[in-house]
Structure 1
Amino acid sequence: MNRRTPLIIPRADHPISRSLVSPNALRVLYRLKENGHLAFLVGGCVRDLLLGREPKDFDVATDATPNQVKRIFRNCRLVGRRFRLAHIHFQDEIIEVATFRALATGEEEPEPEPAAGGEPGEGERPRPPRHLVSEEGVVLRDNVFGTPEEDALRRDFTVNALSYTVADFSIIDYVGGMEDLRRGVIRTIGDPLVRFTEDPVRMLRAVRFAALLGFAVEDETWHAVLELAPAITRATAPRLYEEVLKLFLSGEGERVYQLMRQTGLFGHLFPRFSAWLDRESDGFPHAQLGKALEWVDSQMGSGEPVSPPLLLALMFGEFLEERADELAASGVPPQESMSAAVAEFLGEQAPLVTVPHRIGLAVREMLALQYRLRKIPGKRPQAVLARNCFAEAIAYLRCRSLLTGEGTKVLDWWERYARESVMPPVEGGSGEGDSAPRRKRRRRRRGKKPPAS
């Protein structure tokens, strides 16, 4: 590999100050340095600090191996198989430490490992390979250690490959990330077709960073996403679920949605739902998803958290309600029809984007409760307030009311009822919501003392 001369930006020419860096991350950097190792802040935290944004977390890269890191830090835990990482646990934060990696090609020869209780050379068994690629070119394991330059070159995008060192507080740039940061461009490092084949999830990351930072995707990178969008399903279904949450809970979910529709990624992740979005109902397109995501973005922007079940209910609720109505028209009871619609949809999605069972149950309960909310007051309204999903069901109703203008009367009644129902229990009462009467404790009769002998 031809060595590159990095661009070094001295402290006087960049805005990153140690006061902006997590104290725990600084402890890790200095501790590694004191033990004779190179250690840099890397990735998104450097990018965000240069853009004046507050990083969500601070990642460290070092020339120390995971086992060396573990020996230095007593509060260290080693995690991961595809990428072997060290997690340094502090009271309120985890600092992730990765060893510099090389962009290996092909499968590395596995190293021999002595069998349990045996001497080296006797009964040796091969260790798992440090670098392993599937037949489709997807990297399954990548633990080939390298240099800081090699580590920068194997990262996904130029703006994520910048490093900050506490040795002289400078920024190190091997790949032109500073220029792309200045121009507002998302560009892969190397051939985008190769990089997206290695890890298809990088296509989702390109979309997320473009939406989150307000950047444009560079032309060659964009065309590679268009070409390889069908390959997104090669990533594991549980991992894609986690990526979907990152995409739509980023605070720029509506922009993410538009980019995913343009690239075709959305249609490959949610084929049946995407086909439904393309159809019109009563001459009108299905436009509520984009508006619902705008509501989610506004909630995130104001510091109001949106849970995964609520996000999924808002994204797919209109589609699921329509499907539930079809099942109800065929004779299925309303409550059961919604349960059947949710189960059917999540079952179809499981091979592509696997929603955890507990999340699916929460979505089902939230949507099924909408039928009960329409009956005001109905029987035992106090029991409705006690449901675990009541607050999120009301949030769902509030969003749908804002989008459609329907259900305002129902929403107002339940919000007023919830406010007025916060009252202490009434002694001796027998109405709904009253505390149950306490059972009088029976006194046990004392046995007679035996006569003195």
Structure 2
Amino acid sequence: MIKQFLQKIFRKRSQVATHGKLAAAKVITASKHKINHKLITQAALKTCDGLQKAGFQAYIVGGAVRDLLLDHPPKDFDVATDATPEQVHKVFRRSRIIGRRFRLVHVLWGSETIEVSTFRGHHQSEGDAETNDSGRIIRDNVFGSIEEDSVRRDFTANALYYDPKRQEVLDFHDGVADIRSKTLRMIGDPTTRYQEDPVRMLRAVRLSAKLGLKIEAKTQGPIRKLADLLEDVPPSRLFDEMLKLFLSGHAIESISALRAQHLHHGLLPLLDVVLEQPLGEKFVMLALKNTDERILSGKSSNPSFLFATLLWHEVLLAWQENQKRGEHMIPALHMAMNEVIDKQAEKMAIHNRYTATMKEIWAMQPRFEQRAGKRPYALLTHPRYRAGYDFLLLRCASGELPQALGDWWTRFADAGTDERTQMLLPDSEVKKRRRRPRKKKPATEGAA
């Protein structure tokens, strides 16, 4: 019994040494943190209030607090509590428990969802958390105190807890000071923390680019050496993180940072080749620039369009290769689309709801070169016409296609009936597609 007790004590000390020393929180009052309470949604406030009235602790936590301190309206709100998932579920009628790796509760308020997590604790024994051979945590539902939870979080800027009732921020790791000094610092030993969850390396790059934070030298040091760990992350999880990165409003800075840290290899394996081609790189950078401008101006951006641009030049290359092997133009394009998406899915799985739209955008591109007869009119009525047209303009702007083609479609879309008729090219001037002769069926076939 004494031996087991001593082993338990030493394990706990080892965990504390790995993740960081437990510390008392600095309490930062409203007069000092100056958080604009109006930036907090009613859903987040009601979630905290409901848990507190039920006798539990409840704090807005993580990126939302960080953004509030920077006076940025948070995109979403997470809440941390000492209530277990089952207890949270009982407090809120419209809620559901989700997750295997980390059990969480989604509390539903109209169109807004608040993610509620139970304070995480240290692993007291080897069986507390399930890890793979590289050290990545694949299942972990050890609950603990708020002090332990703060140590389990990744960066000091994300380990902040805001009580909306008291309007106080609890800061266990000098996160507020790091935010004010524009520093991104890992809690605990960076190598161990990246091994536990390699996605933290991507998160470091994204937060650095988005918020203008400089990654602390110790935090940055192991990233290049551990980049290969990302190959072990589930493709769906990589996609979610990359989506946040590309839709952060700072995609260009993020891509540059990924390449500087050698993290882009393996995430978008087909993009690696594109970024080494002058024409491909220009096309991708134009797409990212347009995406950043839309997001920073408060407009929405379609992930399908973005990923269609990122993978287009590999589709284009495969399309050309298929035609060289004798395939007709349109079947060759569809084959190329499937090949590229299947290859990409091996590393980072793009959701099916996005790939369907991506294929529609790609499939429209040959039709923009058909400017005779009724075909241009039919294309204007396509449900994805606007996305396909914007895609065409990017191709023209990058030098892949003549600018005159994009100008023609811009004019055609806005023209009246008479002007459109005059703009249509005669069939004799349209380059006809090559058709392979169809094989004749034997005379006996079908004569039953």
1:214 positional shift: 1.2
1:57 positional shift: 1.0
Mapping for residues 387-426 of structure 1, pairs under 5 Å: 387-404=382-399, 406-420=401-415
1:202 positional shift: 1.0
SS at match of 1:71: helix
Mapping for residues 285-324 of structure 1, pairs under 5 Å: 286-324=281-319
Larger helix fraction of residues: 2
Match of 2:134 among 124, 127, 136: 136
Q: State the Cα deviation string for residues 228-253 of structure 1 (Å, max 9, x = none).
A: 11111111011112222111121111
Mapping for residues 24-423 of structure 1, pairs under 5 Å: 24-104=43-123, 107-108=126-127, 131-278=129-276, 280=277, 286-404=281-399, 406-420=401-415
Report the AA paired with residue 235 of structure 2.
Answer: A
Question: In structure 1, how many angstroms separate the alpha carbons of the residues matched to 2:37 and 2:350?
Answer: 40
Gaps of 5+ in 1: 109-129, 423-453
Report the AA paired with residue 189 of structure 2.
Answer: D
SS at match of 2:222: helix
Q: How many matched pairs?
A: 399
**1:37 to 1:251, Cα distance in 2 relative to 1, 3 A:** same
Question: In structure 2, how many angstroms separate the alpha carbons of the residues matched to 1:285 and 1:35?
Answer: 57
**1:31 to 1:270, Cα distance in 2 relative to 1, 3 A:** closer
Report the AA paired with residue 406 of structure 2.
Answer: L
Report the AA paired with residue 298 of structure 1.
Answer: E
Given that 1:257 and 1:290 are in contact with CA atoms closer than 8 Å, whether structure 2 keeps it comes out as no
Counterpart position of 1:14: 33
**1:144 to 1:58, Cα distance in 2 relative to 1, 3 A:** same
SS at match of 2:275: helix
1:54 positional shift: 0.4
Larger-gyration structure (1/2) = 1
Question: In structure 1, how many angstroms separate the alpha carbons of the residues matched to 2:214 and 2:60?
Answer: 25
SS at match of 1:266: coil
Question: In structure 1, how many angstroms separate the alpha carbons of the residues matched to 2:164 and 2:301?
Answer: 37
- Of 192-201 and 14-23, more deviation after overlay is shown by 14-23
Given that 1:106 and 1:133 are in contact with CA atoms closer than 8 Å, whether structure 2 keeps it comes out as no
Gaps of 5+ in 2: 1-15, 418-448
**1:135 to 1:181, Cα distance in 2 relative to 1, 3 A:** same
SS at match of 2:314: helix
- Matched-pair identity in %: 36
Question: In structure 2, how many angstroms separate the alpha carbons of the residues matched to 1:12 and 1:286?
Answer: 48
Q: State the Cα deviation string for residues 21-65 of structure 1 (Å, max 9, x = none).
A: 112211221222222211111001100000010001111111111
Question: In structure 2, how many angstroms separate the alpha carbons of the residues matched to 1:8 and 1:303?
Answer: 34
Normalised TM-score (structure 2): 0.83
SS at match of 1:41: strand
Given that 1:338 and 1:364 are in contact with CA atoms closer than 8 Å, whether structure 2 keeps it comes out as no
Normalised TM-score (structure 1): 0.82
Given that 2:22 and 2:148 are in contact with CA atoms closer than 8 Å, whether structure 1 keeps it comes out as no
Q: State the Cα deviation string for residues 331-360 of structure 1 (Å, max 9, x = none).
A: 222222222222222222222111234433
1:70 positional shift: 1.4
1:155 positional shift: 0.6
4+ long deviations beyond 6 Å = none
